[in-house]
Chain A
Amino acid sequence: MEDKAQIQEAIKTQGEVVRKLKSEKASKEQIDEEVAKLLQLKAQLGGDDGKHQFVLKTAKGTRDYNPKQMAIREKVFNTIIGCFKRHGAETIDTPVFELKETLTGKYGEDSKLIYDLKDQGGELLSLRYDLTVPFARYLAMNKITNIKRYHIAKVYRRDNPAMTRGRYREFYQCDFDIAGQYDAMIPDAECLKIVHEILSELDLGDFRIKVNDRRILDGMFAVCGVPDDKFRTICSTVDKLDKLPWEEVKKEMVNEKGLSEEAADQIGEYVSMQGGMDLAERLLQDQKMSQSKQACAGLSDIKLLFSYLQLFQVTDKVVFDLSLARGLDYYTGIIYEAVLTQAGVAPVTTDAQNGAPSEESVSVGSVAGGGRYDGLVGMFDPKGRKVPCVGVSIGIERVFSIMEQKAEASAEKVRTTEVQVMVASAQKNLLEEKLKLITELWNAGIKAEVMYKKNPKLLSQLQHCEESGIPLVAILGEQELKDGVVKLRVVATREEVDISRADLIGEIRRRTSEA
């Protein structure tokens, strides 16, 4: 087995040989012979080195989270989970892959975006596409009829990045769902209240929650002359109104989906309507719309919903919007989507001092969506027992991305560790004393660090504190040890005070709790 370096040398030499022959215009046979030798040498290198290659890429559409991003992520999760817990939800977890059959037939046109696992001789598996189908399976499997649960986990979609720039293939979903038979619209209203609370607490700027109802959409299609068998596909097209202008959407309806232009125009009139409870009342009086029993049921529920939203004090941001038509097959009643409005981000304080506000437009589409899906669990239950569900999914990746941008723009540093005290030394040969001290601190639950060096320079230790954002340093020195004290230094102000060893822990606790 030749040394890699030797082979590389040989490749270099052989390369020279080939180049020389070519420049001398030697015979084809001669050149070919030497080229063959060169290729053989190169092959040796390629084959052997297979396992020592480190491919420095993540899979397309996926990414690592570095410590800064994780710190932001943790804050966001804490806010969101705090809200879920405040509303009395419990949590579950499910496997990252399901039996392929479980996911089949649940996602309509989007089914082609599912990641399958290779057939390795066992069951056929697919990575979960969302958290709703696993939830329905969980309910049916455990014969659960009532639950209020949240679930935060990653899901997988083979999106084509060229078409949907910035979309990841592996991303977090953050779902909250209320399953069970209850009086109409109360749980539905609570979901919207939760969305409102979360988006407000996360401080992402202004937002709107658009609300509609599948029954109103279907009723609208019916009275506009859409054939029954085209409902779902026309629904998908209407859904594109958040990204495409009406002309293009109408074109798709007429040219690709075979709808009559008249029907398309009638739809066009309705989908431009937005309002509140008043719009629902108006439509109940609308000559055409009121012909559909379905639509009327949906409209009455919208009115009921708005009455509860008033009590929950969240009507200021909720809009009844007839153009909302979420893409998934399984919604049966109310549907909703929250979007951030353009004037989103607060100016950076430093620039504001100069009178030049630095705003970033972070129009990132929808940040939450959901609705009622009464038929899904029944699909899993052998007896077809229905468990009505309503829920919402927070678009947490978009939230992360906004928070990351904010952190980038702000002067404040994001800490990636929570260390409160650096244990440092002013002279040499104090490692033993530092390790003793840090053990006391750890035993008392204080977050502390020490350098992995027997004799580090004080300056390096202080620099580490500045870089990591560690607020306090406990400095040991020979004189201090004799006196039974520790020098406690505040990194930000450089103030130093001598604290007795016995008092140190109490002092640290006092200072870190005040922070």
Chain B
Amino acid sequence: MQIDEEVAKLLQLKAQLGGDDGKHQFVLKTAKGTRDYNPKQMAIREKVFNTIIGCFKRHGAETIDTPVFELKETLTGKYGEDSKLIYDLKDQGGELLSLRYDLTVPFARYLAMNKITNIKRYHIAKVYRRDNPAMTRGRYREFYQCDFDIAGQYDAMIPDAECLKIVHEILSELDLGDFRIKVNDRRILDGMFAVCGVPDDKFRTICSTVDKLDKLPWEEVKKEMVNEKGLSEEAADQIGEYVSMQGGMDLAERLLQDQKMSQSKQACAGLSDIKLLFSYLQLFQVTDKASAEKVRTTEVQVMVASAQKNLLEEKLKLITELWNAGIKAEVMYKKNPKLLSQLQHCEESGIPLVAILGEQELKDGVVKLRVVATREEVQLIHNTHTVSLLAHGRMT
């Protein structure tokens, strides 16, 4: 009894602490799957956002923002199997709410709510998914999404091509190293499934399986198709032949001629659009990554160069004339540079023209003007008229 009495007192004292000291508890954790960004990370983040937003703005996009939570009903039925990953808010007597799972459903709600039919918008914001960390290691539950979308009825494939141009620009500017952009079309996939003998009602589920090819080898993907999804082995093999194909506009052309594929109207429509897409991508200069146009960091129009030694004085006289005429010109800070180095500098900096001085040319009172891109050369009389023509860009 004595013990009980004293224990009771102890518990009472502790209870006082527990109730009063609720505020003195030391919780030094962020919620599971979330993290703080320290100042270094914020500085990097700011640079990345500036690059990306700069690109979006260059393409004429505007931006919107939406609330972090939506009415639960808004998100219901939009995410299929992933719905179980949605964070719900507690029912505190008001509307039922959930944290947004992506930026696309809020976008669709925004368009419908405001009766908008045409918009080119970007939206950078955090989204929330109750991923199970054991299964998807390293994935955060709170993470940024950065979306760019073009909504509206337009002529085929032009906005689609611009989206790819934007991805290309962003990945190039971020300097992450080499990259590839894979392109396909739902209609081609569906058409392919149809001509390979996949039953209509299995299209979506077979599609999910094909999607795993970026992580699993073909044998495993085929196994899932046949064993789990009930596809015939013959159909799976036929799919196997197609999904190993990669190429450019040429592949689209070949498939349009393919005996089996051409039977599907759907696939043909998709393939024609892929051809159209690639024609626009060519104009946007993004079909061959290696030949992507370099972004110039200087605006020099003319390199003043020399073909022999001891011509620095003459070059400086000429460049002064050019500068006085408002022409952006450069000369190498070397008394006797090799012509090759001067030409290489032009290629690297993207300088379009070279004015080459040589001893004979000086005697004749002419200047050799070379177009860097084509290597064409013309001889021009060195006088004020020529300089003024050069200033007004009539030389190309």
Chain A contacts to B: CB under 8 angstroms: 50-60, 62-67, 70-71, 73, 90-99, 101-102, 104-106, 115-120, 122-123, 125, 127, 137-138, 140-142, 149, 154, 156, 158, 170, 379-382, 416-419, 431-432, 435-436, 439, 442-450, 452-454, 468, 484, 500-503, 505-506, 509
Contact = CB atoms under 8 A, between A and B. Distances in A.
Contact of A70 (B65, B74, B95, B392): B65
24 contacts: A58-B67, A60-B94, A92-B37, A95-B31, A104-B23, A104-B25, A105-B23, A117-B90, A118-B90, A432-B283, A439-B165, A442-B58, A442-B59, A442-B169, A447-B58, A447-B60, A449-B59, A452-B162, A502-B301, A502-B352, A502-B393, A502-B395, A503-B393, A506-B301
Contacts of A127: 68, 89
Nearest to A70: B63
A140 B30 CA distance: 12
A120 B67 contact: no
Given A97-B31, A454-B155, 13 more contacts: A56-B109, A59-B67, A64-B110, A67-B64, A94-B37, A105-B22, A118-B90, A120-B130, A122-B32, A158-B94, A170-B69, A439-B165, A447-B59
B71 A55 contact: yes
A119 B26 CA distance: 21
Contact of A449 (B60, B90, B109, B294): B60
Given A54-B74, A59-B70, A435-B284, A120 B64 contact: no
Contacts of B138: none
A456 B78 CA distance: 36
Interface in B252-306: 280, 283-285, 293-296, 299, 301
Contact of B165 (A51, A58, A442, A444): A442
B382 to A, nearest CB: 20
B179 interface: no
A51 B126 CA distance: 25
B92 A445 contact: no
Contact of B31 (A99, A106, A505): A99
Given A66-B64, A123-B31, A93 B88 contact: no
B24 interface: yes
A70 to B, nearest CB: 5
The 5 closest A-B pairs by CB, nearest first: A105-B23, A51-B77, A452-B154, A95-B34, A62-B67
A469 to B, nearest CB: 11
A98 B34 CA distance: 9
Nearest to A415: B62
A507 to B, nearest CB: 9
A497 B154 CA distance: 30
A419 B97 CA distance: 37
Contacts of B301: 502, 506
B27 interface: yes
B28 A140 contact: yes
B38 interface: yes
Given A62-B67, A158-B92, A442-B165, A67 B58 contact: no
Contacts of B92: 115-116, 158
Contact of B26 (A60, A63, A380): A380
A159 to B, nearest CB: 11
Nearest to A62: B67
A141 B89 CA distance: 26
B159 A452 contact: yes
B59 A64 contact: no
Contacts of B37: 92-94
A90 B60 contact: no
Contact of B69 (A62, A382, A418, A442): A62
Contacts of B293: 439, 443
Interface of B: 22-32, 34-39, 42-43, 45, 57-71, 73-74, 76-78, 87-92, 94-95, 97, 99, 108-110, 112-114, 121, 126, 128, 130, 142, 150, 152, 154-155, 158-159, 162, 165, 169, 280, 283-285, 293-296, 299, 301, 328, 352, 392-396
Nearest to A160: B94
Given A54-B109, A58-B70, A120-B87, A379 B24 contact: yes
Contact of A446 (B58, B69, B95): B58
B372 to A, nearest CB: 12
Contacts of B112: 54, 56
Contacts of B150: 452
Nearest to A419: B60
Contact of A118 (B62, B66, B88): B88
B73 A417 contact: no
Given A419-B60, A502-B393, A443 B295 contact: yes
Contact of B68 (A57, A96, A453): A96
Nearest to B281: A435
Given A70-B63, A382-B26, A118 B32 contact: no
B299 A417 contact: no
B35 A170 contact: no
A112 B280 CA distance: 57
A145 to B, nearest CB: 15
B307 to A, nearest CB: 24
Contacts of B43: 90
Interface centre among B25, B301, B393 (most CB of A within 10 A): B393
Given A55-B71, A95-B31, A435 B283 contact: yes
A463 B241 CA distance: 50
Contacts of A93: 36-37, 42, 45
Contacts of A141: 28-30, 36
B352 A435 contact: no
A164 to B, nearest CB: 15
Given A91-B42, A116-B90, A418 B57 contact: yes
Of A95, A125, A432, the most chain B CB neighbours within 10 A belong to A95
Nearest to A56: B113
A119 B130 CA distance: 12
B109 A92 contact: no
B60 A63 contact: no
A456 to B, nearest CB: 9
Most buried by A among B63, B109, B113, B165: B63
B154 to A, nearest CB: 3
Contact of B71 (A57, A64, A149): A57
A431 B161 CA distance: 13
Given A99-B27, A417-B60, A60 B95 contact: yes
A416 B36 contact: no
A92 B67 contact: no
Given A54-B109, A66-B114, A417-B60, A92 B39 contact: yes
Contacts of A67: 62-64, 121
Contacts of A419: 60
| Residue from A58, A445, A500 having most chain B Cβ neighbours under 10 A | A58
A435 B280 contact: yes
A138 B29 CA distance: 9
A511 B290 CA distance: 33
A446 B24 CA distance: 56
Given A416-B62, A448-B58, A448-B60, A59 B71 contact: yes
A450 B155 CA distance: 12
B155 A94 contact: no
B285 A64 contact: no
A452 B352 CA distance: 31
A386 B377 CA distance: 75
A92 B44 CA distance: 12
A64 B116 CA distance: 14
B174 to A, nearest CB: 15
Nearest to A119: B90
B74 A55 contact: yes
